[in-house]
Structure 1
């Protein structure tokens, strides 16, 4: 695990540098070109996300997990930097659906951390696969609904149309929730392979690293 974390520590810093440079460049460009406050505010405010994972580790008295950080920063680049700051949602065909599908994966992934955070003893047992899978699925679907509510609130506040209601009615919102659910189901399959066969990969490898550094009290693995 030490070698894996050493590799991901380098990847982690590279992703952070990429975010910082991209957001600074975009913010300066939007500011200089006279774009709406909304656009350069998105760019500059995104920089505030960089220290957030480290702040959470410190606040919760947890050890830093660089493989987990890399998952977080990689998704942030895709969903926020490319999607919002560089307007990928408007410019790249089906990018919005890709991001929502991956958000279903990521939210289910973090719901697994919550599952073991609240579980007495926090031990991993193979026989709890169905329970853990149900927990992460229901958590992710609930967050998908809350996300659509937040997009609606943004449209009221800023006068934008992130849900694309003017052109699709409720169609875009429903498709977002459908692909998010599909992403969640894909993660449940990955989770089942982890429980049944011990397969890790990128996501479950990050979970396993974090678990062993912070939660390990008893495990079948």
Structure 2
């Protein structure tokens, strides 16, 4: 991770601190499930760092921020603090976020593949943007397939037994992907940053 990415460093540190506070608070309250959820948040953050280190990947600041924000919203706000039933359409907001994150991950994949390419033409920003968009939309569909499978195999209710819920989730992920792809296309057009730093 880049040294200049200090804003995200402080954001991540804040989440570690909040996770520790939640562990202590819910231990006192005797709520084992909430203690486990708080500990799991810290584990997820550490696992992300481990994967980044093993794969020798540098996250774009925008991608890292989106991932941290996604974890904060889904794991802290929605689960740890129980706001799913309080904030309207929180699940849809999460799917919008996922579209953004997956678009940046598509860019990361393309950038890493292009960096290993020997000779030939220079990496194309246009191809990168299209790949990001299609990758993100495809993954939105894959996630709903996963939810459908787990609902039917394990008796869960991730999709609320509703095609409307499934399609709305995919649409939200697609909107997030489109907005991010437009942002990346504008960045590429202005040539403000090289391809690998476009995020």
Shorter-normalised TM-score: what interval? 0.7 to 0.9
Superposition RMSD in Å: 3.3
Q: Give the counterpart of 2:135 among 136, 139, 148.
A: 139
Unmatched runs of 5 consecutive residues or more in structure 2: none
Equivalent positions of 1:25-64 (< 5 A) are: 25-30=21-26, 32-33=28-29, 35=31, 37=33, 39-62=34-57
Q: Give the counterpart of 2:178 among 177, 185, 189.
A: 185
Q: Give the counterpart of 1:161 among 157, 162, 166.
A: 157
Unmatched runs of 5 consecutive residues or more in structure 1: 211-221
**d(CA) in 2 for partners of 1:106 and 1:90?**
24
Contact 1:53 1:69 in 2 (8 A): no
**d(CA) in 1 for partners of 2:174 and 2:186?**
19
Equivalent positions of 1:63-78 (< 5 A) are: 69-78=64-73
Figure out how many residues of one structure are paired with residues of the other and give that number: 195
**d(CA) in 2 for partners of 1:173 and 1:25?**
35
**d(CA) in 1 for partners of 2:173 and 2:192?**
23
User: Kindly tell me: are residues 65 and 111 of structure 1, through their superposed partners in 2, closer, same or farther at Cα, counting changes over 3 Å?
Assistant: closer
Deviation at 1:73, TM superposition (A): 1.9
1:176 aligns with 2:169: yes
1:113 aligns with 2:102: no
Deviation at 1:63, TM superposition (A): 5.7
- Post-superposition CA distance 1:18-70 (Å, at most 9, x none): 21233234344555545573x44322211112223432332123468767544
User: Which stretch of the first structure deviates more once superposed, 191-200 or 65-74?
Assistant: 65-74
User: Which stretch of the first structure deviates more once superposed, 180-189 or 95-104?
Assistant: 95-104
Contact 1:26 1:40 in 2 (8 A): yes
**d(CA) in 2 for partners of 1:190 and 1:66?**
14
User: Kindly tell me: are residues 73 and 121 of structure 1, through their superposed partners in 2, closer, same or farther at Cα, counting changes over 3 Å?
Assistant: farther
**d(CA) in 2 for partners of 1:185 and 1:65?**
18
Deviation at 1:71, TM superposition (A): 4.0
TM-score, length basis structure 1: 0.71
Whose RCO is larger (CA < 8 A, sep 6+)?
Answer: 1
1:94 aligns with 2:89: yes
